[in-house]
Amino acid sequence: MTVLREDHERLTRMASGLLSKNPDLAEDLLGELDRARIVDTPEEVGGTVQMGSTVTFSTEDGGSRVVTLVYPDEADIARGCVSILTPIGTALLGLPVGGRIDFVANDGRLRMLTVAAIELPQTAV
């Protein structure tokens, strides 16, 4: 997983602040961030899902979705803007095209998703 330094720092602060309110969610995100390769420029993200990326992914049941990964204050499920503080949001961060990951959905079921396409944010290359 590759994450821009600016996003890594902001996400780490956000997750640390959630430890007392929502420890499971905070620990999941912090765990992902601990494994991240941190880079300084958008050119170094290597085609991986970043904050602001629009992502097309499929699920094991054959479904497909297009979402944009955003910070919580920008989340709007009706517009397809998914918060990093959701199981899918945390799972998507840092994945490349073709990347697969298992995650526990909001309903408690183990799910798998596969990234089909990534459109990086306008500020990234």
Q: Where are the domains of the chain?
A: 2-119
- The Cα 5–Cα 42 span in angstroms is 10
Q: Where are the alpha helices (DSSP H) in the chain?
A: 5-18, 23-35, 87-92
On whether the CB atoms of residues 83 and 90 are closer than 8 A, the answer is no
Reading the block at residue 117, the tokens are 């396409």
Q: Which residue has the tokens 């499971």?
A: 24
Query: What is the model's pTM?
Result: 0.88
Residue 43: what pLDDT? Answer: 86
Q: DSSP assignment, residue 96?
A: B
Over the chain (125 residues), the average pLDDT of each successive run of 10 is 92 93 89 92 89 95 94 95 93 93 87 94 60
Q: How many CB atoms lie within 10 A of CB 85?
A: 20
- The Cα 46–Cα 57 span in angstroms is 18
Specify the fold of 2-119: Chitinase A; domain 3 (3.10.50)
Residue 120: what pLDDT? Answer: 85
Residue 45: what pLDDT? Answer: 87
